[in-house]
A = this chain, B = another copy of it.
């Protein structure tokens, strides 16, 4: 017996933490995937303000300020509220209730072993002073995934341990109730890999200050391209240059639709005879073209604050129904006490 229909319409869940403007790294790693997936999938995009609090407890207003900005970024890249449910995580109490149940299904030791959490604890300098909420946030993520009955979760490669944690909890629950009550979501990790920062460092990241925001102005785009390091050994135009690990070529790989021209430019760069200025000019054009419609759409949405709020309100209302239904199903399957209405 299974509660999962034989051939369900796949359910996609993927959200962001409202800690700052979305940038090219998000676009490459998840947003554009989301825009494609919303056709033919039930797609939920929670604004993860509750999760963002787990390491921003001292400055919650920072999170609050970014909630609407994040909605604008989502809308600007083409997330269509008639196809996708954009919702506010902290306004979905069923997620907290499911998290509390799930916390009983995982041990502290298991949470401490999570490689992503280990890395993030180090990156944030928590030392031994890890907020309990931070250690537990993978459980909250598992609850999100389960509550929406997600079957497909587009994430970066570094998020794989989170999906494993979700699977472990879902399996534990399914075993206890004796059937596949909740689905095991499949991770969808983009083939293109992670976008490096404009400084050439491994990952574009707000916190590293090496990100190009989707809302960047033309001047900011130009400045970012100017800043980019190329091959430090490529001193004269005639010298052969290195393409691998050269950020000026990574971005066209990710965004330039004209594959043939890129291949030709790469070959010329390797041989020698192609100057950094030419490559950078081309990249500048690609990024200006990519971001211009996003910036314009964002500005248009920003002029309709009431509509944006309505989208969040309606999306959250829909999400509330979905997540509450899952919670009720889980409670009933476990045989928990249910008060007559």
Enumerate chain A interface residues (CB-CB to B < 8 A).
Answer: 18, 49-50, 53-54, 57-58, 60-61, 63-64, 67, 88, 90-91, 93-94, 96-97, 99-101, 103-109, 111, 128-136, 139-140, 176, 309, 312-313, 316, 331, 334-337, 339-341
Contacts and interface: CB of A to CB of B under 8 A. Distances in A.
Interface majority SS on A: helix, strand, loop or mixed? helix
A60 B134 CA distance: 27
For A99, A100, A105, A111, the residue with the greatest tally of chain B CB atoms inside 10 Å of its CB is A100
A16 to B, nearest CB: 14
Contact of A105 (B57, B63, B93): B57
B132 A111 contact: yes
Nearest to A50: B100
Contacts of A134: 104
A131 B103 contact: yes
Nearest to A172: B57
Contacts of A99: 96, 100
20 contacts: A50-B100, A53-B336, A57-B104, A58-B176, A60-B335, A63-B336, A64-B336, A90-B331, A90-B337, A93-B94, A96-B96, A96-B97, A96-B99, A104-B131, A104-B132, A106-B131, A107-B132, A111-B132, A132-B135, A312-B339
A336 B130 CA distance: 22
A101 B339 CA distance: 25
6 tightest CB-CB pairs across the interface, nearest first? A103-B133, A104-B133, A93-B93, A96-B96, A61-B335, A57-B104
Given A96-B97, A96-B100, A313-B339, A106 B132 contact: yes
A341 B316 CA distance: 10
Nearest to A91: B339
Contacts of A313: 339-341
A60 B140 CA distance: 21
Contact of A132 (B63, B103, B312): B103
A109 B131 CA distance: 9
B93 A108 contact: no
A335 B56 CA distance: 12
A176 to B, nearest CB: 7
Nearest to A317: B339
A20 to B, nearest CB: 15
A102 to B, nearest CB: 8
Nearest to A94: B93
Contacts of A67: 337
Nearest to A99: B100
Contact of A336 (B49, B100, B128, B336): B49
A109 B93 contact: no
A54 B104 contact: yes
